[in-house]
Structure 1
Amino acid sequence: MPTDILPLTRPEQSDSLIRCGAVCFVGAGPGDAGLLTLNALRAIEAAEVILHDRLVSDEVLALASPDATLIPVGKEGFGPSMPQDEINRLIVLYAYAGLRVVRLKGGDPAIFGRLDEEIAALELEGIAWSVVPGITAASAAVAAVGQSLTSRGRNASLRILTGHVMEGFAEQDWRALARSGEVAAIYMGKKAARFIQGRLMMHGADPATPVTLVANASRADQQVLASTLGTLAQDLAASDLTGPALTLYGIAPRAAAPALSDIRKQEVS
């Protein structure tokens, strides 16, 4: 598939409404192409330009038209990343060229996907946009271990956190999260595991609280690490967990998880 960035020039504002294409923000889900929505599939197949995150799987990208231009604009936690302003600029410029643009985001665009910033850039230029939601990593992770994010008698609320953006992370209500029965889905939390462990135990969390990490949820190379808050950092250090992982605080794998995993592997093969 072509990956060259097209040469673009911005038209005069007077004819922008005639020349602008439509931009669709599409959730690519956690990786398994079978988890795409029908609307996401249609948008990907019809796109002339796809600007995609690093975590969008090759399986999903393969669904694009052979004539589509694929442009990686991904960010890597604590690693090299394309600046957000440059991503915004590319989205606007391809839309100005009159092309059908898909901004393809891993998981769901509205969860830690900087959706608001990219929509604001389009609205500033008067460019039309739409959003196709996707299955987020937290949903795929609990499905992998046969659990629920909420359960009657255990938790009626769910905290969704990111361990990647540390600004404001330390100011979370750790005391409330440390209470028995609380559940959190922590995105990109591997590098912050020791910090999370310390904060929660400092505020009274039981060291025996279950913690499950699911790496590459829904993909063929999915890995599951069952741990506890008290042993989280050392278990993670001793594991061979690779790739992006979601941390499920307060949730342990259900006994049926191996059977679910076997079914998923059979479907892949």
Structure 2
Amino acid sequence: PHHRPRQRRGRTSRAGSDAPRVSLVGGGPGDPDLITVRGRRLLAEADVVIVDRLGPRDLLAELPPHVEVIDAAKIPYGRYMAQEAINAALVEHAKAGKAVVRLKGGDPFVFGRGMEEVEALAEAGIACTVVPGISSSVSVPSAAGIPVTHRGVAHEFTVVSGHVAPDDPRSLVDWAALAKLRGTLVVLMGVDKIGAIAEALVAHGRAPHTRVALVQEGTTAAQRRVDATLATVAETVRAEEVRPPAVIVIGEVVGVGPTA
């Protein structure tokens, strides 16, 4: 019963607004406590929530019974690409007058294809509120006791997607340039390609003994950290059965701190 007044207020304000709206919410790295206050408030006011696999799913259990939760991975898309089907679902539910939240893991604009969804909504004349989220690129290392910067150790950190191998013609990453950097390299979506990534970095000049940490399911109850070097990481991932999602940290910061 305590949900009803808030829901009524939300519906009144939406009915009086000029156009349907969607909220694109970054849910953070996985721990449900690490969503922003604004993201949690919008989630509580939603009629429809379209969620990714990596969104903080524990938050969905708190939603009122009337809220429709749609798993983005299970939207049927036939002749559409999956992303186009998600875009279409966002537009459809918003135009039906629903308060729609698109819940993503991490931050919507850090390898989250968030801008593609904003563009699709804009083409349909639908306003979109973007709520930044805590990116796994910095929060997951933090949760494992690794600072991505540390005085006297690293003055920069670079976040790179590892979903495309270094020798793949589709790769947009200058691995030779990355190998020459002295700071921290954070690789997202790179578990399957870490062997090839390590080889490329060493081939272009990064020391084989450079420290590497893999943090699997960071910030959740299942979090674990596995350490290696560029020379050993491919075998370590196989031996330790590291699985996505995992954030990979490469650099001397891996050896900093009391947990190192």
User: Common fold, TM-score beyond 0.5?
Assistant: yes
For residue 45 of structure 1, report the CA deviation from its aligned partner.
0.7
1:52–1:103 Cα contact (<8 Å) kept: yes
Q: Does 1:256 align with 2:258?
A: yes
For residue 151 of structure 1, report the CA deviation from its aligned partner.
2.6
Q: Unmatched 5+ residue regions in structure 1? A: 1-16, 76-80, 259-269
Residue identity in the other structure for 1:231: T
Q: Unmatched 5+ residue regions in structure 2? A: 1-15, 75-79
For residue 211 of structure 1, report the CA deviation from its aligned partner.
0.7
**Mapping 1:1-269, distance limit 5 Å:** 20-74=19-73, 83-166=82-165, 170-179=171-180, 181-250=182-251, 251-252=253-254, 254-257=256-259
Give the aligned partner of residue 263 of structure 1. none
1:61 and 1:171 map into 2 onto residues whose CA distance is: 36
1:19–1:98 Cα contact (<8 Å) kept: no
Residue identity in the other structure for 1:256: P
SS in 1 for 2:116: helix
For residue 153 of structure 1, report the CA deviation from its aligned partner.
3.0
Normalized against structure 1, the TM-score is what? 0.81
1:179 and 1:165 map into 2 onto residues whose CA distance is: 20
SS in 1 for 2:137: helix
Normalized against structure 2, the TM-score is what? 0.84
SS in 2 for 1:257: coil
Q: Deviations over 1:69-88 (max 9, x none)?
A: 0001139xxxxx96111011
1:28–1:107 Cα contact (<8 Å) kept: yes
1:27 and 1:107 map into 2 onto residues whose CA distance is: 5
Distance 1:112 1:221, change over 3 A: same
For residue 252 of structure 1, report the CA deviation from its aligned partner.
1.3
2:136 and 2:176 map into 1 onto residues whose CA distance is: 25
2:227 and 2:21 map into 1 onto residues whose CA distance is: 44
Give the aligned partner of residue 267 of structure 1. none
2:255 and 2:56 map into 1 onto residues whose CA distance is: 25
Between the two proteins, the alignment pairs up a number of residues equal to: 237
Q: Which moved more, 1:24-33 or 1:161-170?
A: 161-170
Distance 1:239 1:64, change over 3 A: same
RMSD over aligned CA atoms reads 2.3
